Every structure is written in C-alpha cells, then in structure tokens.
C-alpha cells in the first residue's frame, strides 16, 4: 500500500529534487525552476492525498526501515502535521511558479544554488513537521535553518549581514531547543514524541522537565519570531531577494509555530504545560505584545517589504495567542490563521516583488496613483489581500479573527480580545495608507495625470500566482466552515 509510505515520500521528493536540480542545473540553468515547480507540485499533491487519507482512515505512522520506535525513527502524518504540510507545500508550489522571473533578474548567477537550497529547506521544514522524534526534529531544524541562512544571504548588499545575524540568533535558539531535548531525554529515556507523551505526567513537576519546556519554548520562539525574540526577522525579510522572502516569510515561522503546537498541546498537554507556572498564559501575553508591537512598527515603515516583515511579527502573534488559549475555538482560529496568513503573506510579498520588478523599488513613499493604471491586477490583488489582513468579511482574514475572538471569550480573556480588535485597527492604518496612495492622486503634488501611465502588468508567471492566491482568500472565506469543522476535530482534548 503506497498510502502508508506517503510521509516518507513527501520528504524524499524534496531530497531527490534538491539533488536533481544541481545535476540538471549544471547542464542547463533554465531547468532549475521547472524542476523545483515539478518537485513541489508532486509534494503538494502527495500532501493533499495524505490529508485525504488522514480524514478517511486516521493518522499515518511511518517507521523508517521498519524499525519501530523507540529504537527507530518514525514520521507521523496526523491532523496537525498533515494540515501544516498541506499548507506549506501548497503555498511553496505557488511561490516556486512565481519565483522564476525574479530569481533570474535579481541573482542570475545563483539560480541553481537558490533552487537547490530551497528544496533542501523544504525538506527540512517537511521533516520538522512530520517527524515523531524530538532529536530528529532538531536535525531537520538545522537542515532548514542552514539552507534558510544561505537563501536569505542571496539578496541585496545588506543581506549577508542580515543572514549572519539570523544565523547567530537562530543557532542560539536551536541550541536551546537541543538542550531542552537533552533534559527530557535524561528524565524519560526516550526521544519519541508519542512515548514521551505517555511518560511525562509522571515527571511533570520535576525541575528538569520544567526547565526543558521553557528552553524549548524559548528556542523555538526564536525561530517563530515570538516577541521579544523577533529581532532577526525584519532585516532578513527586507534584504533577502524577492523569491527568498516570498518563500520563507509565509512558511518559515509557521513551521516553528507548529513545533510550539506540538510541544505545548500534544507532547505536554495544556495541564502539564501549566502545572508549575502559567506558561501558556505567559506565551500568550508575549504573543499579544508581539501583535501590538509588530503592528505599530509596521505603521512606522516606509519600505513595503519591511512593513510586511513587521506585520509578520504581528500575525505570528495571532497564531501563538490562539495556541495559548488552548480551547477548540482558539485552536481553530490559530490554525485557520496559519493557512490564511501563509496565503496573505505570500501574496503580499509577491506583490512587493511585482512592484520591485517593474519599479526597481518598493518604497511606499514613492507609490502613486499611476500604479493602478500600470498594474491594475496586482493592485486589485493587493486590495483583496490588504482587506483580508485588516479582517473584513467575507475575506479569509476575518474568520480567523472571529474564531480567535470566540476563543478568547470562551476563556473570558478580555485582554486578548481587546488586543485582537486593536490590532485590526492598526492593520487598517498601514494597509489603507497604501491603498490611498495607489488609488488616489497625491493632493500635495498636484495633478500628475495617471492617464499618461501605460498598462504594464507583470508577466503571466508572476501575475497568475499572485492573483490565484488573492482569489483563494475569497474562496477560503466562504469555505471556512468546512475547514474549521476539520480543524475542530484535530484539537487534542
């Protein structure tokens, strides 16, 4: 039965293509992007298949080499990992379709390394999400991180510095996580997540376990850009090339958020997490501060990519806040936001890329109303994505906030509810500011006839992924009841 091999197949697809790309790329550079699209396409289809399998037959556990844990390593394709895998691989597929042109124009000499590294990074991400082994997770984390550092370094002049900074902070984070895993191993004697879940209640209040939990949350918090460990993110996202940012921004922090979900809700469970100290509440408060801080900083930015980067800090906060609520509605809201934010951010970074492609910059202060004539469809996509980010119905972004709000009310957590509402307003400030610039004459500059501007939309390979992602926000808005129905079943309690 091939279905039982799906988890491994998804990961191996990326591994295979990460080697095929250099092999074919040396022969013909133009082959790199189609291969990447093919690879991620296969992975996306397999992920979808796997998710359908999960819905029909339950979780898939794959034992490598037939060695059952605790001796061997397993991949687990359950609801949580399946959903994340589906989201990241589908979004990556669209980003790879999109990335061809910007990659060739921004770093023509490094196209082959870019795609090879991107495939490796995807392998890392997929491995992190699917593995059932805490140490194995660290290995994949490092694969993803190392290729991620390299991808970020391919970019503007400041990119290597941003990547180096990320490398230092990220490695520290990874090490803290590893330290936490070590503590857990000494206490429980196993690295398998399912085994450990069964054993942890016995040791829940031992200092080593509590320390391990905190170390892991902090370590992964760095990767998830949880406030105040977000420092690496704005520079990295701003200076990295369009294709890298569009790939890493929607996916990277989500995978880290996945690990937090796995650790807090599955491995420990919310009772054990909060057994000694109200850790989940502290994480939630940090997330709230991140939400407000990210939004306020986003308002202060004039560079579109930088603004979007700060907005990412804010949006990841929503996800982690939903996690910290630890009730079904909050969980559904957070998971829906994983999907929504992945699509919105991919779409918005693509739009920033489109503008860079045509204008050579993405400085908001230079935007004017000729854009709506020159790039009508990019701007229409931007309007949809922006309104979804602000959270107006019937677009997808509204519904994740709606469930999160219901989740906060279920916990009677009025502080978090207020944060959700205030942050929506802040989002409106920085997005409507841009819409104003793009759709209206600048009253200070006087008349500059937009009629002079010619239609100059980006090429189809960039145009379609942007538009499809924007339209999917409307579709998800109307289909969210079905998605949330599935998500509510995934919730572990």
Partner 1 sequence: MDLSFVPLLAILVSLIVVIPIMLSSNKPNLRETWTILAAVIKFGLVLMLLPGAIEGKSVELHLVDLAPGLPLALNADPMGVFFAVIASGLWIFTSFYSIGYVRGSGEHKQTRYFASFAVCLSATIGIAFSANLLTFILFYEMLTVATYPLVIHNEKKEGINAGRKYLAFTLTAGLLLVAASALVYHYTGTLDFTPGGIFTEVELPHTTMLIIFVLFLGAVGVKAGIMPIHGWLPAAMAAPTPVSALLHAVAVVKSGVFAVIRVVGYVFGVDVMGDYGLNDILIILSGSTIILASLIAFAQDNLKRRLAYSTVGHLSYIVLGVALLTPTGMTGGIMHIAAHATMKITLFFCAGAIYVNLHRTEISNLNGIAKVMPWTMGAFAVGAMGLAGIPPINGFFSKWNLILGSLEGDMVIPVIVLVVSGLLNVGYFFPILYRAYFKPGEGLEKYGEASPLMVVPIVITAALSILFGLFPNLFFNFFDLAVDISATLFNTGSP
Q: How many CB atoms lie within 10 A of CB 271?
A: 11
**CB nearer partner 1, residue 122 or residue 484:** 484
405 is an interface residue for partner 1 by CB under 8 A = yes
Angle at 435 between CA 430 and CA 438, to 5 degrees: 130
* C-beta separation of 473 from 385 below 8 A: yes
Specify the stretch interacting with partner 1 by CB under 8 A; choose among 107-115, 192-200, 418-426, 456-464: 418-426
**Chain-centre distance for alpha carbon 163:** 18
Helix pair angle (242-261, 207-224), 10° resolution: 160
Q: Which is nearer to partner 1, 44 or 387 (CB)?
A: 387
The token duo for 432 is 């409507």
- The whole-angstrom separation of Cα 139 and Cα 130 is 13
Interface residue with partner 1 among 112, 128, 130, 390 (CB under 8 A) is 390
Please choose, from the candidates 295, 287, 294, 296, the residue with its C-alpha nearest in 3D space to the C-alpha of residue 322. 287
Contact between 443 and partner 1 by CB under 8 A: the answer reads yes
Stretch that binds partner 1, among 145-153, 270-278, 293-301, 400-408 (CB under 8 A): 400-408
> Would you say 309 or 339 has its CB closer to partner 1?
339
- What's the min distance (Å) between Cβ of 98 and partner 1? 27
Q: Using CB under 8 A, which residues numbered 444 to 473 contact partner 1?
A: 444
- As measured in angstroms, the least distance from the Cβ of 485 to partner 1 is 6
Q: Binding partner 1 by CB under 8 A: which of 214, 289, 292, 409?
A: 409
State yes or no: residue 416 binds partner 1 (CB under 8 A): no
Work out how close the CB of 282 gets to partner 1 at its nearest, in angstroms, rounded to a whole number.
Answer: 24
Strand, helix or coil at 231? coil
- For helices 396-410 and 328-359, what crossing angle results, to 10°? 150
- Provide, rounded to whole angstroms, the least separation between the CB of residue 130 and partner 1: 28
- Measured CA to CA, the distance from residue 55 to residue 124 in angstroms comes to 25
Query: Using the rule CB under 8 A, which residue among 285, 289, 474, 488 binds partner 1?
Result: 488
296 counts as binding partner 1 under rule CB under 8 A: no
Is residue 425 near partner 1 by the rule CB under 8 A? Answer: yes
Alpha helices, H only, 360-459: 371-374, 376-390, 396-410, 414-439
- 399 near partner 1, rule: CB under 8 A: yes
364 vs 484 by CB, closer to partner 1:
484
Candidate list 45, 199, 441, 468; residue touching partner 1; CB under 8 A: 441
Q: Which is nearer to partner 1, 259 or 428 (CB)?
A: 428
Is residue 440 a contact point for partner 1 (CB under 8 A)? yes
The 10 Å Cβ neighbour count of residue 163 is: 25
C-beta closer to partner 1: residue 79 or 221: 79
Is residue 480 a contact point for partner 1 (CB under 8 A)? yes
Biggest distance spanned by C-alpha atoms of the chain: 73
Query: How far is the C-alpha of 389 from the C-alpha of 136, rounded, in Å?
Result: 35
Binding mask 230-259 toward partner 1 (x if CB under 8 A, else -) reads: ------------------------------
Helices and strands in the chain, H and E counts? 19, 2
Measured CA distances, 381 to 85, 329, 378 (Å): 25, 29, 5
What are the CA-CA distances from residue 128 to residues 77, 137, 178, 323, 490 (Å)?
A: 12, 5, 14, 18, 19
Taking the least distance from each CB to partner 1, the nearer of 320 and 387 is: 387
To the nearest whole angstrom, how small is the minimum distance from the Cβ of residue 408 to partner 1?
A: 8
State whether the Cα torsion 143-145-146-150 is positive or negative. positive
415 lies in the site for partner 1, by CB under 8 A? no
Task: Point out which span in 65-73, 302-310, 340-348, 393-401 binds partner 1 (CB under 8 A).
Answer: 393-401
- Binding residues for partner 1, rule: CB under 8 A, are 387, 390, 392-394, 398-399, 401-403, 405-406, 409-410, 417, 421, 424-425, 428, 432, 436, 439-441, 443-444, 478-482, 484-485, 488
């Amino acid at each position: 039965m091939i279905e039982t091999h799906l988890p491994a197949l998804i990961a191996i697809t990326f591994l295979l293509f990460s080697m095929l790309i250099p092999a074919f790329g040396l022969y013909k550079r133009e082959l790199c992007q189609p291969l990447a699209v093919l690879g991620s396409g296969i992975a996306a289809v397999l992920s979808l298949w796997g998710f359908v399998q999960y819905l029909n037959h339950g979780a898939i556990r794959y034992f490598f080499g037939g060695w059952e844990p605790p001796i061997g390593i397993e991949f687990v394709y359950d609801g949580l990992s399946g959903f994340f895998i589906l989201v990241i691989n589908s979004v990556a597929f669209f980003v790879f379709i999109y990335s061809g042109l910007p990659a060739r124009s921004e770093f023509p000499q490094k196209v082959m390394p870019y795609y090879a590294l991107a495939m490796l990074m995807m392998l890392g991400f997929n491995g992190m999400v699917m593995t059932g082994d805490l140490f194995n997770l660290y290995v994949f984390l490092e694969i993803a991180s190392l290729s991620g550092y390299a991808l970020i370094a391919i970019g503007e002049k400041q990119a290597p510095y941003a990547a180096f900074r990320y490398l230092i902070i990220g490695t520290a984070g990874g090490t803290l996580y590893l330290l936490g895993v070590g503590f857990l191993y000494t206490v429980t004697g196993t690295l398998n997540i399912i085994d450990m879940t069964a054993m942890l209640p016995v040791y829940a209040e031992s200092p080593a376990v509590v320390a391990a939990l905190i170390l892991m949350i902090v370590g992964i918090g760095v990767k998830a850009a949880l406030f105040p460990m977000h420092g690496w993110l704005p520079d990295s996202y701003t200076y990295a090339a369009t294709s890298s940012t569009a790939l890493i921004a929607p996916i990277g922090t989500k995978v880290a958020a996945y690990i937090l979900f796995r650790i807090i809700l599955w491995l420990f469970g919310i009772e054990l997490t909060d057994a000694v100290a109200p850790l989940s509440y502290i994480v939630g408060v940090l997330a709230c501060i991140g939400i407000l801080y990210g939004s306020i900083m986003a308002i202060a930015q004039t560079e579109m990519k930088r603004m979007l980067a700060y907005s990412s800090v804010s949006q990841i906060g929503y996800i982690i806040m939903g996690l910290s609520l630890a009730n079904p509605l909050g969980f559904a809201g957070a998971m829906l936001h994983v999907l929504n934010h992945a699509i919105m951010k991919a779409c918005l970074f693509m739009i920033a890329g489109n503008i860079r492609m045509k204008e050579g910059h993405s400085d908001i202060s230079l935007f004017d109303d000729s854009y709506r004539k020159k790039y009508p469809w990019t701007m229409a996509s931007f309007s949809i994505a922006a309104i979804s980010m602000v959270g107006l119905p019937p677009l997808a972004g509204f519904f994740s906030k709606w469930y999160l709000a219901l989740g906060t009310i279920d916990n009677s957590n009025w502080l978090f509810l207020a944060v959700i509402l205030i942050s929506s307003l802040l989002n409106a400030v920085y997005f409507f500011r841009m819409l104003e610039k793009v759709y209206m004459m600048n009253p200070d500059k006087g008349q500059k006839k937009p009629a002079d501007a010619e239609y100059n939309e980006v090429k189809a390979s960039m145009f379609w992924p942007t538009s499809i992602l924007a339209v999917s926000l409307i579709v998800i808005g109307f289909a969210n009841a079905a998605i949330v129905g599935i998500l509510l079943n995934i919730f572990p309690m």
